[in-house]
Amino acid sequence: MSVEKFIRKELISSTPQSSTRVRIVDAPNTISLAAGDPSFKLPKYVADAVYKAIKDGYTHYCFGGDPDFKLAISNYYEKQYGYKADPEKQIVVTSGGSGSIFAGYGAILNQGDEVIALDPAYGGGSMAPAYFGAKTVFASMEKKPGGVFRFNESALKAAITPKTKALYIENPGNPSGIVYTKNELKAIADLAVDHDFEVLSDETYSEYIWGRRKHSTLIDIPGMEERTIVAMALTKMFAWAGMRTGWTIAGPKLTAYINRVPGSGASWPIMKGAIAALNGPRDFIEGEKKEYEERLDYGVKRLNEIPGIKCVKPEGAFYLFPDITGTGLTSDDFVRGLMEKQHIRIASGRGYGVGNGEGNVRLSMIRPLSTQKMPGWFKVTKRTCFEAAMDRIEKFVRTQKPKKK
């Protein structure tokens, strides 16, 4: 029997989930630098709030989301980024960052629409349109000397067609590490207004900005409030990946339709924990940022010491996206060989779009340094810490046999 005759055609034609999103049983000595699942343990006061909510009976339906959670989201976004969203009219609670993206697309996409994604782009944002019968069109980012990827306005213009319904961006970028400047966001806003399309702004990593950059918002640019869907989650900022809690922020008219998209929001006890997280002290977030930056700095230094690899420090997020073209290997061969010979799992840059990331690989900073001070949820030893992972990567590259000409 062919089960495909029963399956939604968009799922048949879509690309399967990448290896970073699928549970894989690895060898015992494998070190994974693949999925962006933070290594830190949830703060106790947040876990206590979830437990208290369960004991107090918050285990029933909470249709529309807890009003106090929506208020906490509104206050957080205003305090951090300056834009005040109406808690009830502009915020929709979702089941994680992917749920936010899905809800946003579900409100605006029809069969035959086109969504532009920048290449390289996060697969969860660039592949989801296919489910709604829409097509993703890629606009290449510009790869600068040293391996830095930057927004390319000309490439975006060239990708716009009469079918363009939306643009998907991550700010900061995953895997590119870009943090959009105000001028770049203004250029995007001008194109959205001139060509009449929406922008889904994935701001999951907005807490993680390095150097002098700052997170600028798109939704408060004149003309963009009803043209922007901000997608966010607690996944990264509170080491919350398994608790599936996110939200969208959009204009009141647009939010009314996002609210109509079928889906599952967060559970009530989890929302109570999320309220405690957003309203509580920032010590945990600041501690995370310090340790992530230490990992990034160490990784950049080590990778640049390896022949054939060039690596720049990202402007935002917590991924390294080194250029490995000097090794003579393709991105896929590098990833495959590293796993087979050194049991290090990373992601191929080629998988983040339609090929513009070829020559790069992505390393997620989820493996602690041996000097980590914050509590983590898995045991780290000298053989499994980030330093050990970098030792294995260096050994893999240095022991490669040169290809015959």
Residues 164, 158: Cα–Cα separation, whole Å: 11
For residue 42, the tally of other CB atoms under 10 A from its CB is 19
pLDDT (0 to 100) of residue 378: 81
Is the distance from CB of 160 to CB of 118 less than 8 angstroms? no
Is the distance from CB of 384 to CB of 71 less than 8 angstroms? no
Residues 6 or more apart whose Cβ sits within 8 Å of residue 405: none
Tell me: the pLDDT tens digits for 62-91? Answer: 999 999 999 999 999 999 999 999 999 999
Q: Is 296 helix (H, G, I), strand (E, B) or coil?
A: helix
Q: Is 348 helix (H, G, I), strand (E, B) or coil?
A: strand
pLDDT (0 to 100) of residue 250: 98
pLDDT (0 to 100) of residue 14: 58
| pLDDT (mean) for 190-216 | 96
Q: What percent of the chain has pLDDT over 70?
A: 94
pLDDT (0 to 100) of residue 78: 98
Residues 6 or more apart whose Cβ sits within 8 Å of residue 134: 105, 109, 110, 111, 112, 113, 114, 115, 165
| pLDDT (mean) for 163-172 | 97
pLDDT (0 to 100) of residue 403: 60
pLDDT (0 to 100) of residue 377: 87
Task: Answer yes or no: is pLDDT of 402 > 80.
Answer: no
Residues 64, 181: Cα–Cα separation, whole Å: 34
Tell me: the pLDDT tens digits for 168-182? Answer: 999 999 999 999 999
The alpha carbon dihedral of 260, 261, 262, 264 has a sign of negative
Across the strands, what pairs with 348? 361
| pLDDT (mean) for 379-399 | 94
Domains contained in the chain, CATH given: 3-43+283-398 (3.90.1150.10), 45-279 (3.40.640.10)
Tell me: the pLDDT tens digits for 86-133? Answer: 999 999 999 999 999 999 999 999 999 999 999 999 988 888 999 999
Predicted confidence band at 13 (pLDDT cuts at 50, 70, 90)?
low
Tell me: the pLDDT tens digits for 310-341? Answer: 999 999 999 999 999 999 999 999 999 999 99
pLDDT (0 to 100) of residue 380: 84
Write down the pTM of the prediction. 0.93
The number of CA neighbours under 13 Å toward the Cβ of 214 is: 7
Residues 284, 44: Cα–Cα separation, whole Å: 10
Residues 219, 231: Cα–Cα separation, whole Å: 11
Predicted confidence band at 148 (pLDDT cuts at 50, 70, 90)?
confident
Tell me: the pLDDT tens digits for 264-308? Answer: 789 999 999 999 999 999 999 999 999 999 999 999 999 999 999
| pLDDT (mean) for 137-159 | 93
pLDDT (0 to 100) of residue 158: 98
Residues 91, 73: Cα–Cα separation, whole Å: 8
Is the distance from CB of 268 to CB of 95 less than 8 angstroms? no
Higher pLDDT, 287 or 16: 287
pLDDT (0 to 100) of residue 327: 96
Element (H, E) at 14: none
Predicted confidence band at 23 (pLDDT cuts at 50, 70, 90)?
low
Output the CA torsion 233→236→237→243 (10° steps): 60
pLDDT (0 to 100) of residue 209: 97
Task: Answer yes or no: is pLDDT of 27 > 90.
Answer: no
Across the strands, what pairs with 360? 323
Least confident of 7-11, 63-67, 301-305, 386-390: 7-11
Output the CA torsion 92→230→94→319 (10° steps): -160
Range with the largest mean pLDDT of 262-266, 373-377, 394-398: 394-398
Mean pLDDT of the chain: 92
Q: Is 165 helix (H, G, I), strand (E, B) or coil?
A: strand
For residue 140, the tally of other CB atoms under 10 A from its CB is 20
**Integer angstrom CA distances of residue 67 from 102, 231, 260, 268:** 22, 18, 18, 11
For residue 18, the tally of other CB atoms under 10 A from its CB is 17
Tokens (6 digits) for 229 = 């869907």
Is the distance from CB of 108 to CB of 198 less than 8 angstroms? yes
Q: Is 247 helix (H, G, I), strand (E, B) or coil?
A: strand
Predicted confidence band at 3 (pLDDT cuts at 50, 70, 90)?
confident
